[in-house]
Structures are given as C-alpha cells and as structure tokens.
C-alpha cells in the first residue's frame, strides 16, 4: 500500500463555483483514510486554477493546456496517484462527510471490487439512477426512442433498473462516472479509461472492460454524494447531445460489432443521429417555452408595479 489510501480526483472545466462547493464538502470533514486531493483542470478560463491555488493550497493541481476531455483528465490522476483507490468526481458533486471512509471500508471488504458507485442524490434529495445494466441491442434501441416519450417502458425499466429502489448494496453492470470509486490496480490492467471517449459513456466502457477481466462493479448506497448534474456542459446542450450520441456509437462499434452485429452499424448510426435530432429539437422547444414563461412573468411584474 502506498502513502495514501485514496486519491480524490476532481475533473474541472469552467465550473469554479461548483468546484469550490465540492472541495468544501470534502474538507469540512476530511476522511479518516490517508488521502490526497487533486484537481485536474482542462484549460478553464474562469480563474479556476488561480482560485484553487489561492484558497486551497493543500490541493494538488494538474493544469492542462487544452480541454483533453473527461477520460484523459481522469487518467492523469489515475496515473499520477500511488494510492490504493482513486475517487473520481465531477465538480458538480458534494460528498457526504462519511462517504469516502465508507467506500474505502467497503472496497477493502470486497477483493473482487474494481469500481464502486455511491448513492447519487439530486439537489432536492431524490435518487439518481446510477447503477445500470449493459443494454442489450433491443433494449438500447427501444430505450433510445421510447424513453423520450414513455420513460417507464419495459425496455427502459430493464436497462435503467427502475424496479430497484437503490437502497441495497449489490453488483451492477456499471455506475455513473460522476462519482466513481476505483481500485487503481484493477483499471491499470485495462489501461485505464479509453481516451477516445471525450465525454459520456466512458464510465460504461470502463466497467464493461473490467467485467471482461473478471472484476466486479458494486453499488454502495451507504456512501452518499449529491450530484447537481451537467453544470459544466449545460450552456451548450446541443453540442453535448451530439457528443453523447457519438459516444454511444463508439461504444457499440468498439464492443458489439466484432460478431454479426457489425452489419447493424449503419442502422445504429442512423438511429442515433435521428435520436440526437429529436433531443435537440425537444431541448430547443423547452428553452423557448421557458423564455416565454419568464417573459410573461416579467410582464406581470411590471403591470403589478404600475398598478401601485
């Protein structure tokens, strides 16, 4: 075992305020396990690096000259660390004061564990659906389209494990990369994250390759992390929707097309492009309706002020 039991690695891109909250959540009650903290910054322009250097001198900073993406940034921390475990975090997370020690103890008790996912909570305290199955081809296709208009369809229920309340620990196929507790020796066997995944699906791909090597992925609900969701990408949602579809296609082409399924690659490509277009239109309509509602509320406020 190295000098540290766990390295905490926070991947940042232009989310200084959320990074501050994430670091505060860790440092207000530091874990008992010997630990170190890294911030891997992907060329932020919002002053994140200077802020961390000034306000958190105990935190190590890896400063990149460009935006390398999530996978490459996480790999920098994994390769730099000599700890037994690495907890990779998004900046839009806040870690419960006991979560890290719970994860260390949990992993120590499971020698076959490569990755553990904590219970992820939305800002309002509701449960996020981390911990899912690898989708079969039919489940993936049906979820991709039916899930847009009918979230509780049988295919989405199976893939997203909607029939499980996430209050019990268990093995799962994969967990969200927003908060991923990793045994470093295990991921070193598979050469860490695949850096061809710039953003999205890198977590599923990592877990898939670990399962192929005989490692297991666990869900540990006693460890809790609040995840505010997508704060580093919400300003360019159309671009992110496109990137997500690309990552899904990359995962399929990489892992599923070595058999007869290779003949389905054109169909998958067309389907994902169509799904991306539908999601972009839906997102645009939602934004326009929100702006219109906001404008209506402002007009009502002006009328009320005039009535006074």
For 94-114, write each residue's pLDDT tens digit.
999 999 999 999 999 999 999
At 232 the pLDDT is: 45
Report pTM: 0.90
Count of helices and strands (H, E) across the chain: 10, 9
Q: Is 279 strand, coil or helix? A: helix
* 225-257 burial code (b ≥16 CB/10 A, e <16): bbbbeebbbeeebeebbbbbbbbbbbbbebebe
Q: Is 193 strand, coil or helix? A: coil
Domain residues of the chain, as ranges?
A: 1-131+166-231, 136-164, 233-299
At 294 the pLDDT is: 78
For 166-189, write each residue's pLDDT tens digit.
999 999 999 999 999 999 999 999
Report the C-alpha gap between 296 and 302 in whole angstroms.
10
Report the C-alpha gap between 259 and 137 in whole angstroms.
13
Residue 303 has pLDDT above 70, yes or no: no
Which has the minimum average pLDDT: 42-46, 48-52, 222-226, 240-244?
240-244
Kindly report the number of other CB atoms within 10 A of residue 280's CB atom: 16
At 230 the pLDDT is: 59
Which tokens in the block code for residue 148?
Answer: 């847009």
Assigned architecture for domain 1-131+166-231:
Alpha-Beta Complex (3.90)
237 pLDDT band, cuts 50/70/90, is: confident
Which tokens in the block code for residue 5?
Answer: 């039991």
For 129-160, write each residue's pLDDT tens digit.
999 999 888 999 899 999 989 999 999 999 99
């Amino acid at each position: 075992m190295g000098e540290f039991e766990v390295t905490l690695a926070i991947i940042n891109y232009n989310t200084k305020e959320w990074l501050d909250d994430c670091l505060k959540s860790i440092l207000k009650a530091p874990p008992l396990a010997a630990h170190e903290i890294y911030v891997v910054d992907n060329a932020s322009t919002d002053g994140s690096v200077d802020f961390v250097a000034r306000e958190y001198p105990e935190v190590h900073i890896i400063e990149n000259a460009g935006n390398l993406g999530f996978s490459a940034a996480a790999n920098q921390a994994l390769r730099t660390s000599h700890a037994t475990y690495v907890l990779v975090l998004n900046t839009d997370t806040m870690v419960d004061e006991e979560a890290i020690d719970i994860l260390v103890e949990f992993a120590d008790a499971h020698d076959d564990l490569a990755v553990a996912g904590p219970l992820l909570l939305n800002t309002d305290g509701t449960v996020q659906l981390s911990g899912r199955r690898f989708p079969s081809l039919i489940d993936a296709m049906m979820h991709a389209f039916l899930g847009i208009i009918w979230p509780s369809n049988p295919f989405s229920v199976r893939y997203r494990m909607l029939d499980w309340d996430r209050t019990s620990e268990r093995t799962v196929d994969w967990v969200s990369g927003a908060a991923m507790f990793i045994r470093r020796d295990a991921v070193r066997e598979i050469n860490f994250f695949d850096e061809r995944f710039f953003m999205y699906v890198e977590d599923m791909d990592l877990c898939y390759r670990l399962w192929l090597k005989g490692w297991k992925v666990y869900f540990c609900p006693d460890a809790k992390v609040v995840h505010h969701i997508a704060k580093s990408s919400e300003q360019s949602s159309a671009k992110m929707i496109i990137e997500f579809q690309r990552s899904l296609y990359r995962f399929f082409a990489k892992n599923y097309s070595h058999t007869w399924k290779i003949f389905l690659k054109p169909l998958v490509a067309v389907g994902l492009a169509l799904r991306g277009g539908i999601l972009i239109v839906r997102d645009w309509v939602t934004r326009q309706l929100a702006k219109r509602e906001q404008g209506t509320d402002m007009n009502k406020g002006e009328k009320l002020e005039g009535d006074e």
